[in-house]
Structure 1
Amino acid sequence: MTLSLTTGPAGTRILGLGHYRPTNVVTNHDLIARGVDTDDAWIKSRVGIAERRWADPDETVVDMAEQAGSKALAASGVSPEDVDLVIVATCTMPTPVPGAAPNVATRLGIDSPGAYDVNSGCSGFVYAVNAASAAVLTGQARHALVIASERFSGWLDMADRSTCIILGDGAGAAVVGPSDSPGFGPVVWGSDGAQYDTVTIDEQSRFFRQEGQAVYRWATGEMAPVALEACERAGVAIEDIAAFVPHQANLRIIDALARRIGLPNAVVARDIETSGNTSAATIPLALSRMVERGEVPSGAPVLLLGFGAGLAFAGQVVLAP
């Protein structure tokens, strides 16, 4: 027996972006006032963060996802009626069931789409947006909405200055739809499961834990070749990359990667300085803000590089909406 397959468009691309940051700004001085054993200069020198956003007590992962998703739909010009798939990348839902995606879809007026969550930590957005692109390419969906939303403020140990200073809350979203030519280069992804426990939620305390030095060595040592391979597979020269948007883990990691890759003409995302590390949300949040500020021209090649918990990674060149 031979099964029938659906076919889709010649290519896919990001049609619109959106982001959301909570209104509650938490500066380094605010952390000190809360009793965290640190100082502003130490935080800036170690991770490059001046402030981060934390959600209000009653503000949820789904709330933030809805805000970012609504803005992405508006920016794309795609109506909710034309969205067939909703994917939410998150690792901070308060419970494993139910997932965020069906709830977000209903709130946005998207009727009966395919809907599921992706939990791949800090690389989750790149994984999710590739699943969305594949669905459109194969005719499984006309348009897909991908949202990354994280609320880490509920998982923080305020006595652990190595983690509580880093993490923030926020969401970023992208609408993926058909295109006459490819707007996504081939993804370069993989994982190092031998180090799976370097980034975890502690089973007993329910606090976020990270072996910072191990992650730093892995990211600065292993991720530049992934980025270079993503450019090569996409057929884009390093000189032509207009923007580099890596996971906003640590400003020292970002700067080290930018130097190793060599990006003579690219603006480098440093959203971590005012948003903190929002895990899966960092890449779409940073890219959306860069596009909003006019830093990335429409159609320009952008290098995305997600890496973190798992340890999983994914690099890819996409065209800016």
Structure 2
Amino acid sequence: MTAGLLTTAHRHSRIAGLGTYRPRRTVTNKEICERIDSTEEWIESRSGIVTRRFASPDETLPAMAAAAAANALTHAGLEAGQIDCVIVAGMSDLVQTPPLAVAVAHALGARGAAAFDLSAACAGFCHALAVAGDMVSAGSAAHVLVIGAERMTDIVDPSDRTIAFLFADGAGAVVVGPSDEPGIGPAVRGADGSHAHALRMDSDWGAVRDDPALPRPYMRMDGRSVFRWAVSRIVPAGREAMRAAGISTGELGAFIPHQANLRMTEVMAERLALPAAVAVADDVKHSGNTSSASVPLAMERLLQEGAVRSGDTALLIGFGAGLNYAGQVVVLP
């Protein structure tokens, strides 16, 4: 006799709430140029960035993540005690253990929740959203908090003119809950280690220790390689995510890719042949590249500005170091 597994009735998942935290300090291109050999015009023309947010000492990763999560809970109409699991996606935490998610769950008062971190660089939020959606659909959790939180200023050399103007800080969170209708489409994901050199941390710890200008390993990036890879691979992945969800570009309300670079976003939108009615996220202009926090931050700005409405569909896709990517079509909360 073969034993069978006990299963729950099939159900779907959706994003039930959205919350963000943007650091108080706004940093202009003029201020960035005080530390690197560049101009305000060059930075804006190359990246689309006009301003970004840098966290102050009291705006720690746990504090920003918990603030974004609390806002998401309020939007969802839930209490922290109703959360079964907390997942934090990020790459900039200088404390590797205990997991940041445990500190966030504790700060929120989600005492009974499981908590773990997910490391997938700028693709982390979309990977974590897929995990949370699968957990809810499978019945192993009723409500999952997914948070993308970064203090990229902790791991970016402020004198590195190739990337010092790109990265910034912030946090975004969503509550994933059950739904009678599909609200989170199948995830499309992958990785290409042959391009691992294009976006990486310093690996020579000895050199780092000997150079007082480098108190810790910093991010290094070959921007041209990342740009070429992202455009060539993420556009087909976006089409695949729409096919998996059973929708066409004409049914999309928004395209919300990782906010790496405005030029990159514009090229992707053009190659996807998105109709003019599709809102294309451009939060990078005012938030910079916040890695795993960028997708929820960009989602919140589109909703806040009225470019999209609750119930519209959006193509999300994150991509970054690895090089790796993850994306899905979702119904906006």
| Matches of 1:158 and 1:127, distance apart in 2 | 29
Aligned AA for 1:18? G
Q: Is the 8 A contact 1:52 1:276 kept in 2?
A: yes
Residue in 1 that maps onto 2:70: 70
| 1:230 is aligned to 2:231 | no
Residue 163 of structure 2 is aligned to residue 167 of structure 1: no
Within a 5 Å distance, the mapping from 1:122-201 to structure 2 comes to 122-201=122-201
How many positions carry a matched residue from both structures?
Answer: 320
Post-superposition shift, 1:9? 5.2
CA deviation vs aligned residue, 1:251-289 (integer Å, no higher than 9, x gap)? 110000000001112100000001000001100111022
- Structure 2 match to 1:93: 93
Q: Match for residue 31 of structure 1?
A: 32
TM superposition shift of 1:198: 1.4
SS in 2 for 1:68: helix
How does the TM-score come out when normalised to structure 2? 0.93
Question: 5+ residue gaps in structure 1?
Answer: none
1:318 aligns with 2:330: yes
Q: Which residue of 2 aligns with 1:251?
A: 262
State the AA in 1 paired with 2:269. Answer: A
**2:102 corresponding residue in structure 1:** 102
What is the CA RMSD across the aligned residues, in angstroms? 1.2
User: What's the CA shift string for 1:73-130, capped at 9, x where partnerless?
Assistant: 0001122121101000011111211111011011111112111000000110010011
2: CA distance between counterparts of 1:224 and 1:80?
37
Q: 1:153 to 1:130 in 2, by over 3 A?
A: same
- Find out whether 1:294 has 2:295 as its counterpart: no
* Residue 275 of structure 2 corresponds to residue 274 of structure 1: no
Moved over 4 A (4+): none
5+ residue gaps, structure 2, are: 209-216
- Say if 1:109 and 1:228 are closer, same or farther in 2 by CA, change over 3 A: same
Contact 1:22 1:55 in 2 (8 A): yes
**Distance across 1 between alignment mates of 2:113 and 2:327:** 27
> What is the deviation of 1:3?
5.6
Give the aligned partner of residue 16 of structure 1: 17
1:28 Cα deviation (Å)?
0.5
Distance 2:123 2:85 in 1: 20
Shift of 1:193: 1.1
Which SS does the other structure have where 2:31 is aligned?
helix
1:215 alignment partner in structure 2: 226
Query: In structure 2, do the counterparts of structure 1 residues 9 and 174 end up closer, same or farther at CA, with 3 Å as the change threshold?
Result: farther
TM-score by length of 1: 0.97
Letter in 1 for 2:259: Q
